[in-house]
Amino acid sequence: QKEVEQNSGPLSVPEGAIASLNCTYSDRGSQSFFWYRQYSGKSPELIMSIYSNGDKEDGRFTAQLNKASQYVSLLIRDSQPSDSATYLCAVNAGNTGKLIFGQGTTLQVKP
């Protein structure tokens, strides 16, 4: 069974620090990787997508992909209290757009 694993946390960081969120996946055929942010009681919101090995930066967010190690990470620089949310890692392993989600990591940014 295809799996995506995340540490559920909570991960607590002080305001201004770098938050590092990690995700591993089991299916080597996976092609697309996504990070969604979900505030309590709200729907998932796409914040980063990555398709090839290496780093992808967008503002304060950097996604990192290592297909050999089957590992995806999300770095949030200069963390703000508004970044406090659950971050869901999702993997697309086929050509139908079906996503396999990890259970999410709860991030708490303390002022």
**What Å distances lie between residue 74 and 32, 48, 96, 109, CA to CA?**
14, 8, 25, 15
Q: How far apart are CB 15 and other proteins at their closest, in Å?
A: 25
Subset of residues 75 to 104 that bind other proteins, contact rule: CB under 8 A: 88, 90, 92, 94-104
Subset of residues 38 to 67 that bind other proteins, contact rule: CB under 8 A: 42-46, 49, 51
Q: With binding defined as CB under 8 A, does residue 10 bind other proteins?
A: no
Separation of alpha carbons 89 and 99, rounded Å: 10
In the complex with other proteins, which residue's Cβ is closer, 5 or 17? 5
Separation of alpha carbons 111 and 106, rounded Å: 16
In the complex with other proteins, which residue's Cβ is closer, 65 or 100? 100
Number of residues located near other proteins, criterion CB under 8 A: 27
Separation of alpha carbons 105 and 89, rounded Å: 9
Rounded-to-10 torsion of CA 60, 66, 72, 74: -10
Residues of this chain that interact with other proteins (CB under 8 A) are: 4, 6, 8, 31-32, 34, 42-46, 49, 51, 88, 90, 92, 94-104
